[in-house]
């Protein structure tokens, strides 16, 4: 797991090593074990290495092919590289290391731009072809590893993190005003957008070819469309048991110490059970919880699970002061504000784990593929809701729900059910700040600027591919390719790499997800039981009382902190003359929202935390640039 950087200028220009070094130095946290730079005329590549596979210097990057034609910088892990290597050896390829990077180079000689189709792993890489003067970049299927790029004025610049690109002179640090509106709509910025003008992130499952004249061609290399099978429950359960085991075993490949991010829930608990079955040594498991409230009692339940499988258990209790002290660095590492109040907590998991291991598996991804969220229940039964007479819905159900305090998600769900147009219904389900709120929140100039934004386009391109599937199956397909990537996986990568930890996600193993997406929705959400077939599957490893205990979620005291420790911090940022709030929003309306939150009339935790993150981002990256 590493950090990569690079610049391709027009022919006749020259890339200086000192510039590439600046780009790699600022992301040294992604790779503290080694660094490498290679420059030749108008191309420069940089690499920071976190040694996981092949701890010797034979894994040093940039790495060259045997014939010297190709040069690679690579971030990630390829879990099927041993099998790929065997096939290449049969074709007389010679290898000089145990590194998966060398396998990628050899396979590129065989497959060229079809290379990513053969990889099962988490990756972002760039390969320079000296002969053809072409640069090839690719990002993994679900976007576990980030890859950003700047493409302007006859130059192409890329990096694992935005801050590397911002080191280059001539790149203006400007807010993308359209992206701000979209961020407030979805609480994350969908790929390929970022909050920085002219800096994009490569979409998951996409590759780019850049010619030396700086012409660019982008393609999707994995356009998987599920074919829903109709088989017996036992077939899916037995197949999943096999795939869960093989995926976990594949992702435990490492020459460095490995552990598990353990919550109180069923997903990471199942991983612990499987890892314990595979490993001869006790698994090291790491959990955090919050000092205030103990609403989830995360540590207590996680410790019980750890003891069940003889794991070495480590925990850390996060205090309000920890969160506040870390917040500025949190935004610096995250680079993209996100309305996810628990995101920073993963930093504290990784920080604790880094004392003992270099690799951390976690249970991310199964909620999106297996219907683990409340919105999945809403979309499945939306047709039944619409059959209720409008008189009853409008005069009894809606007033009942909208008079409840602290029900932002439920309100959103009910609003979405009024729409017959499926795309509109999906949009309302995902929208955090809806149009009526924007009319009050945005000042007139900004509202006029963004009034024609096509919000549906960011998920409609996926929905149209699976239009013949059920509404639930469509939503799961979209979730796995949008909010999972640009929210949860982004936070996980940035927070883990901030501590030089590699995070892995066995439930997003490519063959496993392809099989999961062939399972009918009726087996994923049965009545009101989400992840039904997943839970039946892991009965092989976990006791039923653990599997079917009430879902806790990862709660935190952010609602309280925004009224206390973070209150003055938030209000100071909002009311600053140079704040985004002062430039684009109605300050009086913001103050009304905050007062409702402070008095407990409404719960605006998610929006206020997002606003806090946006303003801190503005101060860190734009005003102090």
Residue range 16-29, pLDDT digits in tens: 999 999 999 999 99
pLDDT score at 369: 98
Helix residue ranges per DSSP H, 295-416: 298-308, 320-334, 345-353, 366-370, 374-380, 382-386, 390-392, 398-402, 408-416
The Cα 213–Cα 603 span in angstroms is 53
The Cα 479–Cα 430 span in angstroms is 10
> Sorting pLDDT into bands at 50, 70 and 90, what band is 600?
confident
Model pTM? 0.94
Q: Which residues contact 432 (CB under 8 A, 6 or more apart)?
A: 184, 185, 186, 187, 339, 412, 606, 607, 610
The Cα 341–Cα 345 span in angstroms is 9
What's the mean pLDDT when you consider all of the chain? 91
Give the C-alpha distances (Å, rounded to integers) separating 1 from 166, 254, 257.
22, 11, 14
pLDDT score at 391: 67
Q: Which residues contact 184 (CB under 8 A, 6 or more apart)?
A: 432, 433, 438, 441, 610
The Cα 291–Cα 153 span in angstroms is 50
Quick: pLDDT tens for 67-105: 999 999 999 999 999 999 999 999 999 998 889 999 999
The Cα 371–Cα 377 span in angstroms is 8
> Sorting pLDDT into bands at 50, 70 and 90, what band is 306?
very high
Query: Tell me, what DSSP letter sits at residue 484?
Result: I
Give the C-alpha distances (Å, rounded to integers) separating 312 from 261, 302, 315, 357.
12, 11, 10, 12
Please state the rounded mean pLDDT for residues 382-396.
Answer: 70
The Cα 508–Cα 121 span in angstroms is 9
pLDDT score at 389: 75
Token pair 């059910």 is found at 417
The Cα 7–Cα 155 span in angstroms is 7
> Sorting pLDDT into bands at 50, 70 and 90, what band is 56?
low
The answer to whether residues 13 and 42 touch, using CB atoms and an 8 Å cutoff, is yes
Token pair 């924007």 is found at 438
> Sorting pLDDT into bands at 50, 70 and 90, what band is 362?
very high
Helix axes 567-575, 605-617, angle to 10 degrees: 60
For every residue of 120-139, DSSP letters joined together read: -EEEEEEEEETTTTEEEEEE
Quick: pLDDT tens for 510-568: 999 999 999 999 999 999 899 999 999 999 999 999 999 876 655 678 888 888 878 88
Closest CA to 73 of 123, 27, 134, 26: 123
Q: Which residues contact 431 (CB under 8 A, 6 or more apart)?
A: 185, 186, 412, 455
Closest CA to 486 of 150, 261, 187: 187
The Cα 519–Cα 369 span in angstroms is 10
The answer to whether residues 82 and 102 touch, using CB atoms and an 8 Å cutoff, is no
The Cα 429–Cα 271 span in angstroms is 31
Closest CA to 335 of 62, 521, 146: 146
pLDDT score at 412: 56
Q: Which residues contact 418 (CB under 8 A, 6 or more apart)?
A: 428
pLDDT score at 554: 56
> Sorting pLDDT into bands at 50, 70 and 90, what band is 291?
confident
> Sorting pLDDT into bands at 50, 70 and 90, what band is 400?
low
Active site residues: 2
């Amino acid at each position: 797991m590493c950090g990569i950087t690079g610049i391709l200028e027009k022919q006749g220009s020259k890339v200086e090593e000192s510039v590439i070094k600046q780009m790699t130095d600022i992301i040294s946290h992604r790779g503290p074990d080694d660094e490498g730079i290679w420059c030749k005329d108008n191309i420069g590549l940089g690499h920071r290495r976190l040694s996981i596979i092949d701890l010797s210097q034979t894994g040093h990057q940039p790495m060259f092919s045997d014939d010297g034609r190709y040069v690679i910088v690579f971030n990630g892990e390829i879990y099927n590289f041993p099998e790929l290597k065997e096939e290449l050896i049969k074709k007389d390829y010679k290898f000089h290391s145990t590194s998966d990077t060398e396998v990628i180079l050899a396979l590129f000689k065989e497959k060229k731009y079809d290379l990513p189709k053969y990889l099962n792993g988490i990756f972002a890489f760039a390969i320079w072809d000296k002969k053809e003067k072409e640069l090839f970049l690719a990002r993994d299927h679900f976007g576990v590893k980030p890859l950003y790029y700047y493409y302007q004025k006859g130059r192409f610049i890329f990096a694992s993190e935005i801050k590397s690109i911002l080191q280059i002179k001539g790149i203006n640090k400007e807010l993308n005003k359209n992206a701000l509106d979209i961020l407030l709509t979805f609480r994350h910025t969908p790929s390929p957008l970022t909050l920085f003008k002219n800096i994009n992130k490569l979409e998951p499952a996409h590759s780019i070819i850049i010619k030396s004249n700086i012409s660019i061609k982008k393609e999707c290399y994995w356009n998987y469309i599920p074919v829903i099978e109709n088989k017996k429950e036992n077939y899916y359960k037995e197949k999943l048991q096999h795939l869960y085991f093989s995926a976990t075993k594949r992702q435990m490949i490492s020459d460095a110490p490995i552990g598990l991010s353990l919550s109180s829930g069923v997903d990471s608990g199942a991983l612990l059970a499987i890892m314990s079955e595979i490993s001869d040594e006790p698994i090291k498991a790491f959990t955090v919880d919050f000092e205030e409230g103990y609403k989830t009692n995360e540590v207590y339940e996680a410790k019980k699970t750890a003891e069940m499988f003889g794991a070495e258990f480590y925990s850390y209790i996060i205090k309000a002061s920890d969160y506040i002290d870390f917040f500025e660095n949190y935004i610096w590492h995250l680079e993209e504000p996100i309305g996810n109040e628990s995101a920073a907590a993963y930093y504290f998991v990784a920080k604790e784990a880094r004392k003992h291991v270099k690799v951390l598996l976690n249970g991310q991804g199964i909620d999106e593929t297996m219907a683990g969220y409340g919105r999945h229940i809403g979309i499945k039964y939306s047709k039944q809701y619409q059959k209720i007479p409008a008189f009853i819905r409008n005069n009894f159900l809606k007033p009942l729900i909208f008079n409840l305090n602290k029900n932002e998600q439920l309100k959103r769900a009910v609003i979405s059910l009024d729409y017959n147009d499926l795309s509109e219904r999906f949009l309302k389900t995902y929208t955090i700040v809806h149009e009526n709120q924007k009319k009050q929140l945005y000042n007139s100039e900004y509202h006029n600027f963004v009034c024609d934004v096509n919000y549906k386009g960011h998920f409609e391109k996926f929905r149209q591919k699976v239009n013949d599937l059920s509404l639930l199956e469509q939503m799961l397909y979209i979730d796995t390719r949008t909010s999972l990537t640009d929210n949860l996986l982004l936070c996980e990568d940035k927070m883990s790499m901030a501590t030089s930890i590699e995070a892995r996600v066995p439930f997003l193993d490519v063959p496993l997800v392809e099989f999961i997406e062939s399972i009918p929705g009726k087996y994923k959400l049965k009545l009101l039981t989400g992840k039904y077939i997943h839970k039946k599957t892991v009965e092989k490893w976990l006791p039923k009382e653990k599997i079917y205990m009430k879902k806790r979620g990862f709660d935190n005291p952010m609602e309280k902190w925004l009224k206390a420790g973070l209150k003055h911090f938030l209000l100071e940022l909002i009311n600053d003359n140079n704040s985004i709030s002062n430039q684009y929003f109605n300050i009086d309306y913001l103050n009304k929202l905050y007062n409702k939150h402070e008095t407990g009339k409404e719960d605006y935790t998610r929006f206020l935390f997002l606003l806090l993150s946006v303003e801190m981002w503005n101060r860190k990256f734009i005003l102090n640039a």
